[in-house]
Amino acid sequence: MPSTRSASASRLLVRADNSPVAREIKRESSVSLDTPKPEATVSVKRRRVKRELEVNGQHHKKQVPDIEDFIYEKAKTLTSSSKATTSLVKVEKKVGVSSVIKVICAVGAPDNWEAVLGGIKSMRLSGEAPVDTKGCEKAGSLLPPKERRFAVLISTMMSSQTKDEVTHAAVERLSENGLLDPDAIVRTDETTLANLIKPVGFYQRKAQFIKEASKICLERFGGDIPDSLNELLALRGVGPKMAHLVMSIAWKNTQGICVDTHVHRISNRLGWVFREGTRQKTTTPEQTRISLEKWLPKDEWEPINPLLVGFGQTICTPLRPKCDKCGINNICPSAFKESSSPIPKQKKTRSP
């Protein structure tokens, strides 16, 4: 009887060998021992050979994967990626701002920057700011190239934490006394030099730095000034802002943006700069320079300094900016957020 033969065969297989191959055959419930089909027989043989190879420590590898394998792997990757993206979005919704967006915004150009820059340029057409007539680039403008470069260096060294009007007046006094020359400065004592540049900020220390720089210019550069960024930075009293400005003005070689207090302040107000990998404002001019240079086109690096300096001197002032007179107050993220005029204190009225 067929049923008797099937049962007997199953018992014999179990007793005969408890090997993995025998267990594999037993698990193939779809295979009938009574009426074996050709396809089922081939399938069992394949499984048996594969199992035997695994038991004997031999690994069977496919040489050429089926196309379904590629489809499956691709689908599995896409599914995993979709799940990861979905979970990321869910997490970031809880946090508030995507970290991916943070990085992009920190590195990429800000929205509307061209419209903002165009608006500032339009407001600066009048040329009424102090920087337009008394900035460092105006120093020694009538002198020969070599002497003019030295005048630009001295003017730049005095300009730190000093208004353009004050710096310009100090340059004029040095010129009147024949001291826009490295040899003449070296032969002048520091006290005389300091009194001539006073009231420039930190005038005594700057007088010392100017004498040292003049000596280096004579001994190492034949009376000219250094023509590289690193050599300028090696001079005491010359920082990144000054070095980049001197390179641009004196040598017509713009290697970076000159960021002073105006550029630093306005760039943050406009939302143009962020600390590395964050949406937080920059805290130093050097951080601002690095952030600006990541997206601002290089042909804007030189003019951006006098442009924003003049804008900061006339409209976007440090205290009480004149937002009501600003032509970009509709697209500036900081417009009207700082008091445009001092709030008068209310007098206390006594009750009758």
The catalytic site residues sit at 241
Strands (E), the chain: none
Q: Is the peptide bond before 199 cis (omega within 30 degrees of 0)?
A: yes
Strands (E), 236-292: none
Structure tokens of 238? Answer: 């010359």
Dihedral sign computed on CA atoms, order 94, 100, 103, 105: negative
Element containing residue 249 per DSSP (H, E): helix 240-249
Looking at 17-112, list the stretches that DSSP marks H as alpha helix, in order from N- to C-terminal side. 20-27, 38-55, 67-95, 99-107
253 CA to centre of own chain: 22
Structure tokens of 335? Answer: 């417009």
Spatial separation of the C-alpha atoms in residues 123 and 41, rounded to whole Å: 88
Q: At residue 64, what are phi and psi to the nearest 5 degrees?
A: -125, 110
HEC string for 140-170: CCCCCHHHHHHHHHHHHHHHCCCCHHHHHHH
Structure tokens of 146? Answer: 């070599």
């379904």: which residue's tokens? 68
Query: Torsion angle of alpha carbons 304, 307, 311, 317, nearest 10°?
Result: 50
Spatial separation of the C-alpha atoms in residues 70 and 323, rounded to whole Å: 61
Spatial separation of the C-alpha atoms in residues 152 and 168, rounded to whole Å: 11
Query: Torsion angle of alpha carbons 164, 170, 171, 176, nearest 10°?
Result: 150
Spatial separation of the C-alpha atoms in residues 227 and 231, rounded to whole Å: 7
